[in-house]
Structure 1
Amino acid sequence: MNAVNAEATAVGLDWLATAGPLLVWVVVLSFVFIECALIVGLFLPGDSLLFAAGVVLAQHGAEIQAWALSLAALVTAVVGNQIGYYVGRQTGTRFIARRGGRVLNQHNLDRAKAFLDRRGFLAIVAARWIPWVRTLAPLVAGAAGMNSRRFMLATTAGAILWVPTLVLVGFYAAGLLASIPWLNTVLVWGSVAFFVIGTAYGAWRYRQEMRKPVEERSEAAST
């Protein structure tokens, strides 16, 4: 893992190379919960974080912990989405739709409701792999009145396909990173770029949307 450590230090991520498994657990579970449960999680790039967690655990030879973290993060993702679902169900779209919003607007919510009515299960499963949608899907599903049992099955299936895949791919690919220097460089820089650019762009979009006033029609639509 020396190549991984050197590359992480070169791009300013040496804290990842020396992070203990406990810190990895705290960061991953916290970010996964926020991204799946709260609208502020719209700008958290969970995909790259899960992959990086697997790589860090591989540096410590913590295979059992990689599998355990996959299970814990999976449960956290499901619980987070359940909270998001019930928030949407209780508040309707009052705190989601924004007047003039490009993403959080009543038109998109109406389209989402129609889409969920036709392909609700598959939409929730696929949403795990789509930033932004991953956070919005539970809120929209709850606001749209999607059947709670159906949502639970869909979000669990999505979490099973999402969390263990990224964590374990990161863990078992770590050995390959050390033996192929150019791939090591590409993946490390790619992860950093995705994390930084994705977070910055997502935060900017979130601020732009939240500055707009709440869509008054959304309150009536949710009652």
Structure 2
Amino acid sequence: MNLTWLLQTLPGPLVYVAIGLLIGVESIGIPVPGETALIAATLASRHPAAAFHPMGIALVASAGAIIGDSIGYWVGREKGNQLLGWMVRRFPHHVTPAHLGWARELMGSYGSGAVFGGRFVALLRMLAGPLAGTMGMHYPTFLAANAAGGILWAGGTVGVLWVLGEVAQTWLSRAGWIVLAGLLVAVLLGSRKINSTMQARVRAYAEAHPEEMADWKATQAGE
């Protein structure tokens, strides 16, 4: 079922709740399609009959990101490695020991910068809160980076998609659609490049830390 179409059929308040919850749950550390839902809701908001506004989508997405990351931070602070171990066992295709090790190393090197920038990378968007809490990052520092990243990510995503939609409506010539298609392809290729680069660094981390990977496997096997 097309997610954009589904959102157009829901009452406006329910759409806001759904977007906020999906992004919040993703930010806690559970791999749900938060970003996909944000994109779909923004596209659906352009429909004349839509009962929700892109500004409202941006606001609830920002709130979901900030609150979800904060919950992830405090759960990580209280439960620490128990939470991370559960994520590896429950979502082995999304989170592996190598992913955790690489993300932890990144967090240790860049601190709040990793929290801010992580909002724009799928894996770090899930892990930033729990890892920051586990590693004992000062909460006000975390909150400032988390809020800035969440607002820029949500507002920026909605804004870019809205502008592209305006361009599509204004440029009715064939050349205009070609340019728009080129922009969309460039965005998709850029996202794919970021993901492939991240995966390459995760693999490199695993190769550079074989003992740590073996310890993780032994720990999981013993549980």
Normalised to the residue count of structure 2, the TM-score between the two structures is 0.66
Partner of 1:132: 123
Could you tell which deviates more after superposition, 174-183 or 68-77?
A: 174-183
Q: Secondary structure at the match of 1:135?
A: helix
Of 149, 155, 164 in structure 1, the residue corresponding to residue 146 of structure 2 is 155
CA distance in 1, matches of 2:70, 2:7: 30
Q: CA shift at 1:112, angstroms?
A: 4.1
Partner of 1:30: 21
Give 1:25 deviation, angstroms: 1.6
Scaled by the length of structure 1, the TM-score of the pair is 0.66
Aligned-pair CA distance for 1:26: 2.8
One of 55, 67, 72 as aligned partner of 1:67? 55
Q: 2: CA distance between counterparts of 1:129 and 1:68? A: 20
Q: Aligned-residue CA RMSD in angstroms?
A: 3.9
- In the alignment, is the contact (CA less than 8 A) between 1:19 and 1:56 conserved in 2? no
Aligned to 1:220: none
- State yes or no: 1:76 paired with 2:64: yes
Residue 4 of structure 1 aligns with which residue? none
What's 1:15 paired with? 6
- AA in 2 matched with 1:92: G
Residue in structure 2 matched with residue 89 of structure 1 by the alignment: 77
Residue 198 of structure 2 corresponds to none
How far residue 175 of structure 1 moved from its aligned partner, in angstroms, is 3.2
Superposed CA offset, 1:130-154 (max 9, x none) = 1122111111111111111110011
Secondary structure of 1:94 counterpart: helix
Looking at structure 2, the residues matched to 116 and 160 of structure 1 have their Cα atoms a distance apart, in angstroms, of 20
Of 109, 112, 117, the residue aligned with 1:121 is 112
The match for 1:46 among 34, 54, 60 is: 34
Change over 3 Å in CA distance of 1:215–1:187 after alignment to 2: same
Q: Could you tell me how far apart the structure 2 residues matched to 1:77 and 1:59 are?
A: 25
1:79 Cα deviation after fit: 0.8
**Secondary structure, aligned partner of 1:96:** helix
Q: Percent identity at matched positions?
A: 27
Number of corresponding residues? 185
Contact preservation (8 Å) 1:88, 1:139: yes
Relative to 1, partners in 2 of residues 1:126 and 1:12: Cα closer, same or farther, differing over 3 Å?
closer
Q: Is the 8 A contact 2:73 2:130 kept in 1?
A: yes
The answer to whether the 8 A contact 2:12-2:52 is kept is: no
Q: Distance in 2 between matches of 1:75 and 1:160?
A: 8
Q: 1:134 to 1:127 in 2, by over 3 A?
A: same
Q: Distance in 2 between matches of 1:12 and 1:123?
A: 31
Whole-angstrom CA distance in 2 between matches of 1:56 and 1:104: 34
Measured in 2, the distance between the counterparts of 1:118 and 1:13 equals 39
